[in-house]
């Protein structure tokens, strides 16, 4: 097991105002790391005050300002990028951050991957993953020691954002094969592991983690058990038909700056159910054994939040005379 004692230097965290970035910040602070948070100049003062209250140093820099980015990266031992977006962010802003880090000799860089394994996907099959693969090529062309965190899909999405479990219809969708293994990790678990990797000078080029590995059949069984009502599998077509549908939906939808329009979700499911992006070298125990949040844990919490609690009977009022 690799020790998690922070090495000399500071961790620069970009994207700390987002959900995942905020969780990574909390975990870095808990590990005792010195954290410098990179924020854009337009970040409001209240948010900056919150970051400082957590124990982080806050530096503001525009991603179009190379000098400011280089100053932010000075005396930094590792840059962690948790920024998210399309090519202007992943290939634009993140590349400029990488250039600044390389210019001042930052030894390590963790890019904003946090995804299923994009290395084996087919060309033009998944826009968001291809952006990450393109950035990886730029990262590998530098002298910086890189570490990518591949965690599958976020388990939190099973509670509704990813329309795979149709709760009201008591169905679980699948494409091609209901027994295809799917990788899931919660944002909390991903952030905890990422923070440990950030302070691990020997972290390898790729770290794969999975809080749970399940199939559509497993999920149907879990929902049946949790609700006491049968959840059945629903064949939604082949992976090929899903890919074709995603292209058709993309063609008719107006251009969007959203990272996850409906057709992108279709591409993600196609990558998962095809097996092209399955994680094959899980390294959950690199930073010690811990309890990982399972798909059942997430679905049980969701079910409990949706189940009305029985109301207590009103107490009779006693009037004294």
**Rounded Cα distance, 195 and 190, in Å:** 9
Say which residue the tokens 């790391």 belong to: 33
Say which residue the tokens 């820099």 belong to: 61
1 has a pLDDT exceeding 90: no
Angle ∠(287,194,90) on CA atoms, nearest 5: 155
pLDDT tens digits, 107-117: 999 999 999 99
DSSP code string of 233-260 = EEE---HHHHHHHHHHHHHHSPP---S-
3-class state of residue 83 by DSSP = coil
**Rounded Cα distance, 242 and 125, in Å:** 11
Identify the CA nearest to 267 among candidates 257, 258, 277.
Answer: 277
243 has a pLDDT exceeding 50: yes
Are 94 and 21 contacting, i.e. CB atoms less than 8 angstroms apart?
no
292, 226, 115, 278: CA torsion to nearest 10: 90
**pLDDT mean over 209-216:** 98
**pLDDT mean over 245-256:** 90
The pLDDT-based confidence of 94 (bands split at 50, 70, 90) is very high
Domain boundaries 10-151+185-210+277-286, corresponding CATH code: 3.40.50.720
The pLDDT-based confidence of 309 (bands split at 50, 70, 90) is low
3-class state of residue 123 by DSSP = coil
172 has a pLDDT exceeding 70: yes
**Cβ atoms < 10 Å from Cβ of 231:** 21
Predicted local confidence at residue 39, as pLDDT: 97
Query: CA-CA distances (angstroms) from residue 127 to 51, 83, 149, 263, 303?
Result: 32, 16, 18, 10, 32
Are 14 and 38 contacting, i.e. CB atoms less than 8 angstroms apart?
yes
Predicted local confidence at residue 162, as pLDDT: 79
**Rounded Cα distance, 141 and 143, in Å:** 7
**CA-based R_g, the chain, Å:** 22
89, 91, 96, 100: CA torsion to nearest 10: 120
Instruction: Output the pTM of the full model.
Output: 0.92
The one-character DSSP state at 115 is B
Are 23 and 191 contacting, i.e. CB atoms less than 8 angstroms apart?
yes
Predicted local confidence at residue 257, as pLDDT: 81
Are 192 and 185 contacting, i.e. CB atoms less than 8 angstroms apart?
no
Name the average pLDDT for the chain. Answer: 92
DSSP percent split of the chain into helix, strand, coil, nearest 5: 40, 15, 45
**pLDDT mean over 23-42:** 96
**pLDDT mean over 13-38:** 97
**Rounded Cα distance, 47 and 58, in Å:** 10
224 has a pLDDT exceeding 60: yes
**Rounded Cα distance, 93 and 98, in Å:** 9
**Rounded Cα distance, 47 and 18, in Å:** 11
pLDDT tens digits, 255-300: 778 888 899 999 999 999 999 999 999 999 999 999 999 999 999 9
Predicted local confidence at residue 161, as pLDDT: 75
């Amino acid at each position: 097991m690799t020790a998690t004692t922070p090495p000399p230097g500071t961790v620069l965290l970009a994207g700390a105002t987002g959900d995942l970035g905020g969780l990574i910040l909390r975990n870095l602070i808990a590990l005792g790391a010195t954290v410098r948070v990179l924020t854009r100049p337009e970040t409001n003062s209240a948010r900056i005050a919150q970051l400082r209250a957590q124990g982080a140093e806050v530096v503001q820099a525009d991603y179009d300002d190379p000098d400011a980015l280089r100053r932010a990266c000075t005396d930094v031992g590792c840059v962690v990028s948790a920024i998210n977006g399309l090519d202007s962010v992943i290939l634009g802003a993140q590349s400029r951050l990488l250039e600044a880090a390389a210019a001042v000799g930052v030894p390590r860089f963790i890019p904003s991957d946090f995804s299923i394994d994009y290395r084996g996907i087919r060309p033009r099959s998944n826009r968001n993953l291809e952006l990450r693969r393109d950035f990886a090529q730029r990262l590998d062309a530098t002298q910086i020691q890189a570490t990518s965190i591949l965690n599958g899909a976020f388990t939190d999405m099973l509670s509704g954002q990813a329309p795979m479990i149709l709760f009201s219809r008591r169905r679980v969708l699948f494409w091609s094969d209901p027994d295809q293994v799917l990788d899931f990790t919660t944002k909390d678990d991903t952030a905890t592991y990422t923070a440990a990797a950030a302070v691990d000078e020997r972290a390898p080029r790729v770290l794969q983690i999975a809080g749970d590995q399940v199939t559509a059949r497993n999920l149907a069984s879990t929902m049946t058990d949790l609700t006491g009502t049968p959840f059945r599998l629903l064949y939604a077509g082949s992976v090929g038909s899903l890919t074709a549908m995603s292209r058709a939906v993309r063609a008719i939808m107006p251009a969007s700056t959203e990272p996850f329009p409906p057709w992108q979700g279709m591409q993600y499911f196609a990558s998962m159910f095809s097996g092209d992006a399955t994680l094959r070298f899980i390294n959950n125990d690199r930073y010690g054994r811990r309890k990982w949040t399972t798909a059942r844990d997430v679905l049980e919490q969701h079910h409990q939040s949706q189940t009305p609690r029985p109301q207590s009977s009103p107490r009779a009022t006693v009037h004294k005379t």
